[in-house]
Structure 1
């Protein structure tokens, strides 16, 4: 099985999990529209060096077709224009939508209560991590409904509605989970599957830099954060998404919140280093206690 002739959008594919998920869809043969705000012509407020063009090239190298499109998903007009482009170029077809827009790391003030946290940063986090997701879904879903098929994946952090240590961060991530469940209900008369998907402790480019390590010596990061030993690369969630997209019975997960570690048990995939990180077990044994 493969994803040849399948059309995917990974919204927020400039780096991290988004980039890895786009690459893995390409690896299975999909055409992947990779969106973000940083291009070779200009960077976003994230001030990161990764670009959507690089992601598209990596999709091509993996065996798929990567199409970079600069989109600010908080801007309704830009999103509508983008979806119209996909509609024209792919004859109305859209099979997979991944809502991965985030950009909330520099907006989160850990250790500050709701009344002390910068309000504008908190509101911007909701625009990017919540509003951007349902704006994109609003314009993209009609393409799936016409075909009576599709897979929507909301990328989140965590598998439940428990507090995540910061009011605005928690609100955003729990909202992603509920959006997946709500869309599953709204679309139950269509053959469209809506799920939420979370990584474990994600070893992204930004996290590696934060801990002063590279992927080659990442274990040295435990000197800064001991739980980093249980981290996983972005390609782990990329594998999870790929297997979900290839699964002919993916609809059994409709409305559910899934994790990389649970899906690695279901599908048997591994991280790039051949391991199967299980953040769920590690958290219970080493963090929760």
Structure 2
């Protein structure tokens, strides 16, 4: 596809974590990145980070960061987001669906029925929000004549990870990428789902706390929050991108293939051998 540097990008859920890292990695000089999230001011959320801070860092690096307060559980707010992109630029090059409601109880041990019913929020902002954002973004991508939708996902789509709500949400966005790819392919717009590894984020830093020694193994294999964004950038620039459309890809494996290293120069490993292979869908089409 070979996107130029004047591309227009939307990254959802980018106040912090993977979304922030992806937005920073994609926000290269000349690129405009719309950064969405709910956190407007420091202190509004338990973890540090705001949409404005992410956007400001993109701008400081030479891109153009545009902060947009957007609750991805609110379809009207999502519609306003993409109407703004259409009004400002009339096109879109890349959509990264990363917004995810992360319940405080996500990592609790025990069967799903002993966890709060609110765990299903992950199916609203995560699964459903991916469909809604893609629905509003698709006409802009199609009109552009080229583009890329990336759904951030994980090995939890294939193995037991945090329980059925999390697993169902990740499996769903993988399948959405596959099916959206079929509809988008005639317009040279790709859709893929990207399995990220363990990430060094504000959330993991808070979880580790002062137990740095106990998490040495994690640190040795974890990816920076920017690493998935570097992989997405390489995919977007890959002339063979459309050959990958509809697939579930492991970020670390794509990085190795395309010559991408993490920001510290390390080559993060794939966890395929331990956590499982990406899903391969049937080629059958029923319309």
Q: TM over 0.5, yes or no?
A: yes
* Mean CA deviation greater in 10-19 or 22-31: 22-31
* Mean CA deviation greater in 105-114 or 20-29: 105-114
The TM-score normalised by the length of structure 2 is 0.88
Between the aligned partners of 2:97 and 2:150, the Cα distance in structure 1 is 6
> Which of 232, 254, 263 is residue 254 of structure 2 equivalent to?
263
Between the aligned partners of 2:47 and 2:43, the Cα distance in structure 1 is 10
Other structure's SS at 1:151 match:
strand
Name structure 2 gaps, 5 residues minimum. 276-287
Other structure's SS at 2:68 match:
strand
CA contact (8 A) 2:36 2:67 kept: yes
Q: CA deviation at 1:186?
A: 2.3
Between the aligned partners of 2:88 and 2:43, the Cα distance in structure 1 is 25
The TM-score normalised by the length of structure 1 is 0.87
Corresponding residue of 2:268: 277
Between the aligned partners of 1:12 and 1:101, the Cα distance in structure 2 is 4
Between the aligned partners of 2:42 and 2:218, the Cα distance in structure 1 is 37
* Mean CA deviation greater in 68-77 or 165-174: 165-174
Q: CA deviation at 1:278?
A: 0.3
- Aligned pairs for 1:1-289 (under 5 A) are 3-27=4-28, 29-40=30-41, 43=44, 46-90=45-89, 92-108=90-106, 110-119=108-117, 121-158=118-155, 161-212=158-209, 221-224=212-215, 226-280=217-271, 283=274
Q: CA deviation at 1:222?
A: 4.8
Q: CA deviation at 1:261?
A: 1.1
Other structure's SS at 2:112 match:
coil
Name structure 1 gaps, 5 residues minimum. 214-219, 285-289
Q: CA deviation at 1:267?
A: 1.4
Between the aligned partners of 1:229 and 1:222, the Cα distance in structure 2 is 11
What is the total number of aligned residue pairs between the two structures? 275
* Alignment deviations for residues 131-176 of structure 1 (CA, whole Å, 9 cap, x no partner): 1111111111111122332100000112853332411111111111
Provide the alpha-carbon RMSD of the alignment: 2.2
CA contact (8 A) 1:74 1:135 kept: no
Other structure's SS at 2:265 match:
coil
Q: CA deviation at 1:256?
A: 0.8
Consecutive aligned runs of 4 or more in structure 1 exceeding 3 Å deviation = 224-228, 281-284
Between the aligned partners of 1:253 and 1:141, the Cα distance in structure 2 is 18
Other structure's SS at 2:76 match:
helix
Other structure's SS at 1:14 match:
coil
Between the aligned partners of 1:163 and 1:98, the Cα distance in structure 2 is 25
Q: CA deviation at 1:263?
A: 1.5
CA contact (8 A) 1:230 1:282 kept: no
* Alignment deviations for residues 30-72 of structure 1 (CA, whole Å, 9 cap, x no partner): 11100000013872xx422200111011111222111001001
Other structure's SS at 1:133 match:
helix
